Amino acid sequence: MEIKDLVEITKDELVQLTGFNSPNAIGIIKDEGIWHITIEITEKPSGSPNLDLLGIYEVRVDASGNMLSYERVRMRKRCEKDSC
């Protein structure tokens, strides 16, 4: 399975599990046959896009695209990444 397909499947599953929309993959690492995909997802939209509340999730996926686990590892406002 290609990485882009793996990421799309993972994003779709995370949306289904969390009920949140607008996922973006922001990192991917393969470690001993397990893919670790970091996904940023809008959890609470705001009137100002810079103030949206984002959840950062670490998702573990096997080579076939089966989700093994997911965990929200951090939350932040959209403008906190670098500068608003």
Q: For 18-33, how does the pLDDT look when each residue is reduced to its tens digit (9 = 90+)?
A: 999 899 999 999 999 9
The DSSP call for residue 8 is: H
Structure tokens at 48: 């100002």
- Computed over every residue of the chain, the mean pLDDT equals 92
DSSP-derived pairing of the beta strands 53-61 and 34-44? antiparallel
Residue 82 has pLDDT above 60, yes or no: no
pLDDT tens for 7-18 read 999 999 999 999
pTM for the full predicted model: 0.87
Percent of the chain with pLDDT over 90: 74
Distance CA 63, CA 75 (A): 28
Report the SS3 class of residue 46. Answer: coil
Is 3-78 CATH 3.90.920.10?
A: no
